[in-house]
């Protein structure tokens, strides 16, 4: 029986792409640049590639924040080089933008009756603490683990060892739910716990990962837990 759920936040409980659009639109507007859909798509691709490097241990968090902006601004000849200021403003904007997925807050309230729930996220501390407070998720869960604070990121086994030590979760009774194969599902595999891939678009499985459960709507999780 599953009695503990480790939740990813961005792209799972909350719509990260919508928040990303809000954040980039807000911050680019402040430096006199109008965001287009094409620009947003290019930024998303660049951002994902940098986070994938980080998950593989090929770059630091600081290198992500500067590198993705250098790549993006260079792509569109945007003459702005105060990457640190832009990133700090962007993290705040990301935290201000809260877009729940699949009525996820109601689901969290329902699951509180039978499960312990913890947030496990690689997002920045500033953005995550803001959005978790604004959404009310921080009041609906039993704990929050942000990789920037822990000092280790998903999918590293050491990250999950830290969470297990702090919470006392039993591996056989724990499930991780997330949208990222390389971070959440790979992390669950490394930790030796069951995995549930949130895959609303029906993407194919990539990489050497084991997906125990797959859902397109978060509420499908209820059926999995009942079994």
Residues marked as catalytic: 8
- Asked if residue 140 lies in contact with residue 161, where contact means CB atoms within 8 angstroms, the answer is no
Planar angle of CA 1, 178, 53, nearest 5 degrees: 135
Residues 184, 199: Cα–Cα separation, whole Å: 12
In this structure, how many other beta carbons lie within 10 angstroms of the beta carbon of residue 149? 11
In this structure, how many other beta carbons lie within 10 angstroms of the beta carbon of residue 192? 12
- Phi, psi dihedral angles at 74 (to 5 degrees): -65, -35
Residues 163, 150: Cα–Cα separation, whole Å: 9
Sequential DSSP letters for 17-63: HHHHHHHHHHHHHHTT----HHHHHHHHHHHHHHHHHHHTTSS-HHH
- The helix (run of H) or strand (run of E) holding residue 133 is helix 125-135
Helix (H, G, I), strand (E, B) or coil at 105: helix
């Amino acid at each position: 029986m599953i009695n503990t759920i480790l939740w990813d936040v961005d792209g799972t409980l909350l719509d990260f792409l919508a928040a990303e659009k809000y954040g980039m639109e807000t911050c680019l507007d402040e430096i006199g640049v109008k965001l287009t859909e094409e620009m947003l798509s290019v930024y998303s691709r660049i951002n994902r590639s940098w986070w994938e490097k980080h998950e593989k241990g090929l770059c630091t968090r600081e290198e992500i924040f500067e590198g993705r902006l250098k790549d993006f601004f260079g792509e569109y000849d945007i003459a702005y080089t105060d990457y640190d200021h832009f990133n700090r403003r962007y993290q705040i904007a990301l935290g201000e933008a809260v877009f729940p997925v699949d009525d996820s807050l109601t689901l969290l309230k329902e699951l509180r009756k039978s499960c312990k729930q913890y947030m496990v996220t690689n997002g920045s501390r500033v953005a995550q603490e803001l959005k978790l407070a604004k959404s009310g998720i921080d009041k609906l869960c039993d704990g929050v683990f942000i990789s920037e604070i822990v000092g280790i990121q998903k999918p590293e086994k050491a990250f999950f060892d830290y969470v297990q030590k702090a919470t006392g979760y039993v591996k056989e009774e724990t499930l991780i739910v997330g949208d990222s194969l390389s971070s959440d599902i790979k992390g669950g595999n490394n930790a030796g716990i069951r995995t549930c891939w949130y895959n609303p678009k029906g993407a194919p499985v990539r990489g050497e990962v084991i997906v125990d459960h797959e859902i397109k709507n978060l509420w499908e999780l209820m059926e999995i837990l009942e079994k």
